[in-house]
Structures are given as structure tokens and as C-alpha cells.
Amino acid sequence: MNDAERRFTAIYDSCRQRVWAYACARAGGQIADEVVSETFAIAWRRFGDIPEPPLPWLLGVARNVLRDGHRAEARRAAFTAELAHWTPPPGGDVAEDVTERMAVLRAMAELPDGDREVLILTAWQGLSPREAARVLGCRPAALRVRLHRARRRLTKAVEGSAARSAEPRPGPAGVVRSQVEIVGREMT
């Protein structure tokens, strides 16, 4: 065993339990083992960067590993939610779902720019009303009023789009309500 391997082994032996305790406190025991493994794999790859004492540096690496894990989990959750949103429920009619979605998209295109922007920021970008207000440079209360009005105009536009459609569809009011509910859920 060379000097680098001996030093790394000494660092591992002296710091592993403390890194595990830190990860366990932040994310739970199930994830802590993975965080420790990843932390020391990074430490081995960046062995020349490890300062004396090594523990603060290792805890910083563990913190970054946890942060990256949270980001990856958030991406997976967002992807799963989006996939569930686009996947029809069992026994549902895919063509009807697509038709309803197209009606909402057509209605969105008819809305004024301000309404479209508020709906896009909250529904499709996933911003809270407070965050969307910051983007638009207004107060959160004003944004909520704008959002309420935009939803109302979207409902009317979808109803108008369904009424103008040459293709008769059963219960356009129910379709409008379900699509606006979907958009509303996406916005909250």
C-alpha cells in the first residue's frame, strides 16, 4: 500500500462515521450509505484537493451530493407528474383527451398576452403566485386577481371554442370544467 492509499484509508476510517451521521441527519439512514459512498468516491478522485483537516471538506462534498440527489429526485418527480398528466387514465378515450387539450390550447391562443403570461408562469412554469408576481413586477395580491381573471377568461374562451366547433361533442361545459380544473391544479 502506497502513501496515498494509507492516507486515504486513514481519512476514511476517521471521517466515515461523521460523514454518515451528517447525511443521516439530513436525509435519513437509507440514503446516508449512498451519500457516504459517493462522497468518498469523489474524495478518491480528487484526493489531491483534500485539505487538512479533511472533515469539513468531506462534509461539504456530502452536502453537495445530497443537494444533487434532491435535484435529481425533483426532476424525476416532475417527469413522473408530467407523464401522468399526459397519460390517459385507464379506460379513458385518448382522442377525447387530445381534443379537449386542443380546445384549451386554442383558447389560450385567443387570450390577451397578459392573461397568457400569467397562466403560463403559474401553470406551465410552476411558479407560485408570489414568484410569478416577482417576475411580472407586481404584488402577489395583484397577481392573484390577474390569475383569477385569466382563468375566468380562459373558461369562457374554451366554452366559445367548443361552441364554435363544427364537430358536436357531448357536454362541452363538462369538458371546459375538467380542462380548467386541470389548468387550475397546474397553477396552484
Domains of the chain, CATH where assigned:
3-84 (1.10.1740), 90-187 (1.10.10.10)
CB 177 within 8 A of CB 105: no
Measured CA to CA, the distance from residue 181 to residue 158 in angstroms comes to: 12
Task: Give residue 182's pLDDT.
Answer: 55
Measured CA to CA, the distance from residue 66 to residue 145 in angstroms comes to: 38
Q: How would you write 117-167 as a 3-class SS string?
A: HHHHHHHHCCCCHHHHHHHHCCCHHHHHHHHHHHHHHHHHHHHHHHHHCCC
What is this structure's pTM?
0.43
Q: Is the confidence at residue 188, as pLDDT, over 90?
A: no
Q: Is the confidence at residue 82, as pLDDT, over 80?
A: no
Measured CA to CA, the distance from residue 177 to residue 187 in angstroms comes to: 15
More confident residue, 72 or 22: 22
CB 82 within 8 A of CB 116: no
Q: Is the confidence at residue 147, as pLDDT, over 90?
A: yes
Q: Please report the sign of the dihedral spanned by the C-alpha atoms of residue 168, residue 172, residue 174, residue 175.
A: positive
Task: Give residue 108's pLDDT.
Answer: 82
Task: Give residue 45's pLDDT.
Answer: 93
More confident residue, 30 or 15: 15
Measured CA to CA, the distance from residue 15 to residue 60 in angstroms comes to: 13
Measured CA to CA, the distance from residue 33 to residue 19 in angstroms comes to: 10
Q: Is the confidence at residue 75, as pLDDT, over 70?
A: yes
